[in-house]
Amino acid sequence: MAFAGRHPMLSLALVGLTLAIVYTEIARLLRGYTSLKPAELPALMNQHGALVVDLSAIADFEKGHIAGSRNLTPSQFDPQGKLLAGARQSPVVLVCRNGMASTAAARKLKKAGFEQVYWLDGGIGAWQAASLPLVKGRA
């Protein structure tokens, strides 16, 4: 209490930061989809048959993508589309170049009723930073 009396601005900043952290963590827990680290993805693919959807532009996908992933550009992405139609109860992992487009797509899948939705945290950039292999060309 003595600190708060002597440093009201610092105390207020501490309370504000604490509330922001609590809000962020609660929102993360309630969003319904899970982030994956690059090292976790191969196990999900091999043990649970996860469908990996790469939301990169076609040219970027052909330059390098995760083996076994399927390409859909964000404009083609549709939770009701042919590629995703049979995957409502299966794990679906969304990947993009940096992790931004995949989080938006993950939100759409959860709203559409998909049960196991994941996104690759950091995207293809994080995958490469973890020294994991990419394949070139069309899937």
95, 96, 105, 117: which one is catalytic? 96
* Separation of alpha carbons 10 and 7, rounded Å: 5
As a whole number of angstroms, the distance between CA 63 and CA 128 comes to 13
DSSP3 helix / strand / coil % (the chain, rounded to 5): 45, 15, 40
Q: For the chain, what is the largest distance between any 2 Cα atoms, rounded to a whole number of angstroms?
A: 65
| Residues 6+ away with beta carbon under 8 Å from 96 | 54, 55, 56, 74, 102, 105, 120, 123, 124
Note if 96 is an active site residue: yes
CB 117 within 8 A of CB 33: yes
Catalytic residue positions?
Answer: 96
